[in-house]
Structure 1
Amino acid sequence: MGKKQKTSGDAARKEFIFQKKNYLFMFLGLGCMALGFILMSGGGSDDPQVFSTDIYSFRRIKLAPALVLIGLALEVYAILLNPHKKD
């Protein structure tokens, strides 16, 4: 008795939670994280008996992890962003 019947108008008004703006920030975050992981790779030595100090470069120690964290922050922002909110 207390159930509402769905009409065709209700089905037409349903929207996705995420909009174009959310997906844009998600892909920016994924790209930033991927770039960070690519920059973090490498630096090894061809000879396992020789230690290479290339792993301690600015790119691998500071820049790459910062890019990964920025990408994660963009992902959180993209999830929490409300595209329907009027500024």
Structure 2
Amino acid sequence: MENKNQFAFGRRNYLLMIVGLVVLGIGFIIMTLDKEPYGEGFLGITLGPIFLVIGFIIEFFAILVKDRKKV
């Protein structure tokens, strides 16, 4: 019989999701700190988007990784 109170993901997945969201938030904050007009400086065009891509990659793996206890 299946337990109806189980979550879809394990603890490891949720921790990775939180880390990914924090990295995404940092990326958006970095992009707003750019002092150039329209955010066309190093922070708005290079560093912020790098953090965003890393954050989305972390979120992707957070969804796909299997929790050790669930296997």
Note whether the superposition's TM-score is higher than 0.5.
yes
1:54–1:15 Cα change, 3 Å: closer
Structure 1 residue 42, shift from structure 2 partner: 4.6
Whether 2:62 is the aligned partner of 1:78: answer: yes
Distance 1:22 1:43 in 2: 33
Q: Which has the larger radius of gyration?
A: 1
How big is the alpha-carbon RMSD for the aligned residues of Structure 1 and Structure 2?
2.6
1:1-80 equivalences under 5 Å are 10-12=1-3, 15-43=6-34, 52-53=36-37, 55-80=39-64
**Structure with the larger helix share:** 2
Matched positions, count: 70
Identity of aligned residues (%): 33
TM-score, scaled to structure 2 = 0.78
User: What TM-score do the two structures reach when normalised by structure 1?
Assistant: 0.65
Which structure 2 residue ranges, 5 or more long, are not aligned? none
CA distance in 2, matches of 1:76, 1:83: 14
CA distance in 1, matches of 2:4, 2:38: 56
Give the gaps of 5 or more residues in structure 1.
1-9, 45-51
What one-letter code is carried by the residue in structure 2 that aligns with 1:57?
Answer: G
